[in-house]
Amino acid sequence: MSALHVQQARRLLAYVEKGFSPAVFASSFGAEDMVVLDLIARDGLGISTFTLDTGRLPRETHALIAKVRAAYGIDVAVFQPWPESVDAYVAEYGIDGFYDGIEPRKACCAVRKVEPLRRALAGKKAWITGLRREQADSRVSVQAEERDEAHRLWKFNPLVDWTEAQVWDYLRENRVPWNALHDRGYPSIGCEPCTRAVKPGEHARAGRWWWEQDGAKKECGLHVIPIREVA
């Protein structure tokens, strides 16, 4: 594990705590997010953590959230979609209507993820993510520090230039817990019906919305990219 990468991430997180309070960490409890959570906890930073419970998360993700609360002694704020919005979606598209095309899939993401994120970020000056450039073609322009105009605050990505190997080196060397699905071939984990294990040689995000045609932008709308860098 690169000590330099860890030091850079720690410095950035400390900078966020000092200059952008209140700041929050948005965690889906994937491998990258567990690294960021561990760094925040180890340095005792005053940065709160939240997650989006879409109502369709795998039980393994819920199990990890419970484990994190017990192991780190931190509160994890949970934001859920409005029930009436979910009911309206189901009435229009059906409970699993996201399989029918990109438009209904993005509509589901908007209800279950994008709107709850707006509530989670309300009143905050900055949010922190586990985004890495290596994760997807749609993320190659991500910077460590960005202006998120969609939410009118700053966005920080402390692992932006980390490799997947470095993420896993950190988790193992520091005995950080991770989602059990990672050990079953799930490098990227989202909602249970929208995530599958990847096959040998497939891209790490091939298991996300796998039924969509090649060339589709496989993002849910949480991360609007590109975004202007901090001046």
The catalytic residues are 220
Dihedral in degrees, nearest 10, Cα atoms 93, 94, 95, 96:
-70
Distance CA 101, CA 105 (A): 6
Among candidates 137, 196, 194, 170, which has minimal Cα distance to 31? Answer: 170
Q: Are 120 and 24 in contact (CB under 8 A)?
A: yes
Among residues 55, 61, 56, the alpha carbon closest in space to that of 209 is found at 56
Helix (H) or strand (E) holding 89: helix 83-93
Residue 121 neighbours by CB under 8 Å, 6+ apart: 24, 127, 151, 153
